[in-house]
Amino acid sequence: MYQHYFIAALLIVMAASSATHALLNKTDSRSALGWIAVSIVFPFFGPIFYFLFGINRVQNRAVKLNYYLRKRHFESKHHQTYVFNPLKNIQIVSHQLTELPLLGGNSVEILYSGKQAYPSMIQAINSAKDYIYLSTYIFKPDETGTAFINALAEAKDRGVKVFVLIDGVGEFYSIRKASKLLAKNNVDVARFLPPKLVPFNIYINLRNHRKLLIIDDYIGFAGGMNISHQYASNGKNNPKDTHFKLSGSITLQLKHLFEADWRFATQEETNIPTPSCQDQETSSWCRTICDGPGENLGHLSIVIFSAINAATKSITIMTPYFLPNKDLIRALEVAALRGIDVSLILPKNNNLFYVDWACRHMLWQLVGSGINIYYQPGPFEHSKLFIVDSFYTLIGSANFDPRSLRLNYEVGVEIYDKNVATELTEYTHTVIMHSRKLTLDELRSRSLAVKLRDGVAWLFSPYL
């Protein structure tokens, strides 16, 4: 008898505690209401799920550590706050958020596949003389991953300082662990927030999704490409991706971001000195946008929102996962209604079917507003591209979904360069030519069962 009362009292305390915590700490009313409802309706499993997935345990720690990226001073003759009048509003917002300058004197090379990106990255590793920083979400020690491990080990042997940061959950995409193989070769390697039982900490939802390679202060790679042989081989079902080689002063901003992540993960410094920027006579102006559950939360969303509102001609988005918040949806709708050519390119066959279902539930309102949505045929496209007016490009690791824009540690790089944007625009137009345009009739003609399936998946979109 008393045992039943004890269990009932325990469940009430658990439900009340989690509901109260959600009420006091969540900044989105829908999220707070959802967690409160789950905690009350499911007084045992609800609080457990809230404890595992609903609490941002990293934010306070991130604020205390305080990313020192913006505190660094960049000595460069190509160092300005605002450069181009047509898109000045984007520059104002980005500068106010990051307190980082636009850095000129950069060159950008677009790498359209792993077959292009990986050899270029390994060649850069082989040419390193002072240091190598590598950060990735997934590092599979397959054929391609082994080539990276060997190159990093050889660099270490010839006296180069090598630091590798692998996400603690992303590493589990492979049975064999790249971190162990790197450690055997005396490479300094760390895992970002790995789940642990002793001492207990589980940061399942808070992942380092950044993909960065920085070498000797003058070469950097950024984008959405993990290290896995499936991006380098010609298999019919292997995914595609786009990566970028950056040369110039922007690599120093990326360098300091990696150093902040390394300090966050290890409580240690890399102790690599920072020289003055090595300027080049090139045309790309760039700025790093970092985003994550600490003080930088929402930076990418705000920059994207401001860029959508600043567009005067066209907006092109290519992303594998599209579940933006209501503000970004509304901004895209308004852009289309004021005559902007808005194109959204999605994969026809998504590798995460439940994300595809949730996405389909809300596409009708975009199509109804005049937004062009295209389903790209296979293989699965993992690229993340955002282009405005064939002049402004935002690249990086973030998708258009809550996991990237609210939970993960992500990095974006703004590129103000007509040549880069024009080349990517031409690339996306080629993709569109081989894609199928989605119609409002097609979305409305889905069966009731499919609509219900998509709707239920959409309800869980904040957690997908």
Q: Are strands 131-136 and 161-167 parallel, antiparallel or unpaired?
A: parallel
- For residues 380-407, give the mean pLDDT: 91
> Is the pLDDT score of 235 beyond 70?
no
- Quick one: what percent of the chain has pLDDT higher than 70? 83
Query: What pLDDT shows up at residue 282?
Result: 59
Mean pLDDT value across the chain: 85
Residue with tokens 């390994």: 122
- Identify which has the larger pLDDT, 67 or 371: 371
- For residues 39-56, give the mean pLDDT: 72
289-298: pLDDT as tens digits: 998 876 667 8
- For residues 223-235, give the mean pLDDT: 87
pLDDT bin (cut points 50, 70, 90) of residue 43 is confident
Tokens coding 229: 């042989």
335-350: pLDDT as tens digits: 999 999 999 999 998 8
351-385: pLDDT as tens digits: 888 899 999 999 999 999 999 999 998 888 899 99
Of 46-60, 74-88, 362-376, least confident by mean pLDDT is: 74-88
Query: pTM here?
Result: 0.86
Residue with tokens 């410094």: 269
Burial grade of 159 (CB within 10 A; 0-12, 13-18, 19 or more): exposed
Give the separation between CA 429 and CA 464, rounded to whole angstroms: 29
- Quick one: what percent of the chain has pLDDT higher than 90? 56
> Is the pLDDT score of 220 beyond 90?
yes
pLDDT bin (cut points 50, 70, 90) of residue 394 is very high
Nearest to 216 by CA among 291, 132, 134, 314: 132
- Identify which has the larger pLDDT, 28 or 306: 306
> Is the pLDDT score of 1 beyond 60?
no
Query: What pLDDT shows up at residue 155?
Result: 97
| Cα atoms found within 13 Å of the Cα of residue 297, Cβ hemisphere only | 15
Give the separation between CA 410 and CA 207, rounded to whole angstroms: 9
pLDDT bin (cut points 50, 70, 90) of residue 63 is very low
> Is the pLDDT score of 28 beyond 80?
no
83-96: pLDDT as tens digits: 666 688 888 899 88
**Which residues are registered as beta bridge partners of 284?**
106
Of 64-78, 103-117, 206-220, 369-383, least confident by mean pLDDT is: 64-78
127-185: pLDDT as tens digits: 999 999 999 999 999 999 999 999 999 999 999 999 999 999 899 888 899 999 999 99
- Identify which has the larger pLDDT, 277 or 15: 15
Query: What pLDDT shows up at residue 27?
Result: 66
